[in-house]
Amino acid sequence: MDEEYDCIVLGTGLTECILSGLLSVEGKKVLHIDRNDYYGAECASLNLDQLWNKFRPGQTPPESIGRNRDYNVDLVPKFMMANGEIIRFLTHTDVTRYLEFKQIAGSYVFASGKIYKVPSTEVEAVTSSLFGLFEKRRAKKFFEFIQSYREDDPSTHQGLNLDKNTMIDVYTKFGLAPASQEFLGHAMALHLDDGYINQPARETIEKIRLYAASMARYGKSPYLYPLYGLGEMPQGFARYPISLSAIYGGTYMLDKKVDEIVYDSEGKVSGVRSGDEVAKTKLVICDPSYASNKVRTVGSVVRAICILDHPIPNTSDADSVQVVIPQGQIGRKHDVYVACVSSAHNVCAKDKYLAIVSTIVEGNGNPEQELEAGFKLLGPIREKFVSVSPLEEPLADGKDDQVFISRSYDATSHFETVCDDVHDLYKRITGQPLVLKQRSTQEQEQAEMAA
């Protein structure tokens, strides 16, 4: 590794692998290192041995839960919005050539002690028992507004200015009751707390539209999921630069200790040291764990990975679901999420289910207890692995030292904020906005080669 590189990337999380792939394709010589012996960093999918090694070192998984190789257990609970930016990343880079996707079978919201399927169109709003009789009509009017809204056609704005009016103004205009507000803000806009209510309405309206458009795309839920787990995505992007025409593929090194990021006398990055080897570079991209003195903690997330012998009750035996438990239902400030996938996604043994219960930590006492409302929905839990992860963000934008640090994977249930971070980092690194170009498909590439 004692060479000079245009860029050194530390950590093989999704953000880092996307950026590393993009820079390689642009012709940069990239060295990509991870301290772990697997791809994915904080968004890896682990087999049983790796899972036990991480959470219960020295112990071995019980044989009764199945074979090691059948498991790909995600560390973070995230799905892909079917109409989201992540899909654009995957299709434009043609990383889809390596991956297969399945729909998440259902999305649910917890209200008054029960779980309901999330309605996302005016037709579903009218038929859902989530809304009372009078509320149905008001909800229907709101959905019609959402679906017919056109930015360039003021007649569809119904007198609202999304940059000036707050979301509470919008709710008031449609006469929506607090229960409906909670549903729209938390189960559809997927806000984690109620802070959005007094913000300009645009962000929330766009989130609701994204949810509805994603739902409309394939039908069962707004979410897609890669077979074999989320860890396939960083692996796919790691192969992305490898093409018939590419001059450089990034060099990947796993299971490689990273001792320090080295700086010159002016405080600019000059290399990365591992043992007595130093790889030279003028540009480093890394996740927060590789630059702990240059990040701040803005909160923490508690996540419980649960192995179940059964589907989540009251979901019609769905092979995969998301359940949102809005904060107002359980006397909290932040929602609790349940995300479940199963052997249908090749992430665990047959007839097993993997559920992750997560929330933003509010108290200092017992974070696991903050997940209680989620555990109650699961029924008996076979194995449970609880972890608390700090939410970290860089102190600086990286322009001074040329060390560009990604954000931790947050508590949202999808990859939209990860894509935001990629766009933001790319712009800070290159000074240019990221414009995704459509990559040739495998077939086109081979046809070009033959020609």
Chain residues that interact with another protein, rule: CB under 8 A:
37-39, 69, 83, 87, 90-91, 96-98, 100-103, 121, 146-147, 209, 212-213, 216-218, 224, 227-228, 231-232, 235-236, 238-239, 242-244, 246-249, 251-256, 442-443, 445-446, 449-450
Min dist. Cβ of residue 330 to another protein (A): 30
Residue 103 or residue 358: which is nearer to another protein going by CB? 103
Residue 50 or residue 406: which is nearer to another protein going by CB? 50
Residue 2 or residue 264: which is nearer to another protein going by CB? 2
Pairing of strands 269-274, 101-103: unpaired
Q: At 279, list the tokens.
A: 């790889």
CB neighbour list of residue 233: distance below 8 Å, 6 or more residues apart: 14, 17, 43, 90, 95, 99, 226
CB neighbour list of residue 99: distance below 8 Å, 6 or more residues apart: 90, 226, 227, 232, 233, 236
C-alpha 22/C-alpha 30 separation (Å) is: 10
Residue 91 or residue 369: which is nearer to another protein going by CB? 91
Min dist. Cβ of residue 213 to another protein (A): 5
Q: Provide the phi-psi class of 332: left if phi over 0, else alpha when psi is between -120 and 50, else beta.
A: beta
Min dist. Cβ of residue 248 to another protein (A): 8
Residue 36 or residue 166: which is nearer to another protein going by CB? 36
| Nearest Cα residue to 243 out of 444, 3, 12 | 444
Asked if 172 contacts 158 with a C-beta cutoff of 8 angstroms, the reply is no
C-alpha 415/C-alpha 412 separation (Å) is: 8
Min dist. Cβ of residue 253 to another protein (A): 4
The DSSP bridge partners found for residue 71 are: none
Min dist. Cβ of residue 35 to another protein (A): 12
Residue 46 or residue 302: which is nearer to another protein going by CB? 46
Min dist. Cβ of residue 313 to another protein (A): 26
Min dist. Cβ of residue 121 to another protein (A): 8
Asked if 357 contacts 336 with a C-beta cutoff of 8 angstroms, the reply is yes
| Nearest Cα residue to 259 out of 18, 42, 1 | 1
Min dist. Cβ of residue 252 to another protein (A): 4
If DSSP states are collapsed to H, E and C, what string results for 336-363?
A: EEEEEEEHHHCCCCCCCEEEEEEEECCC
CA angle 153, 201, 411 (to 5 degrees): 130
Min dist. Cβ of residue 18 to another protein (A): 15
C-alpha 349/C-alpha 75 separation (Å) is: 17
C-alpha 102/C-alpha 338 separation (Å) is: 18
Residue 209 or residue 384: which is nearer to another protein going by CB? 209
Residue 54 or residue 239: which is nearer to another protein going by CB? 239
Residue 253 or residue 386: which is nearer to another protein going by CB? 253
| Nearest Cα residue to 225 out of 377, 132, 106 | 106
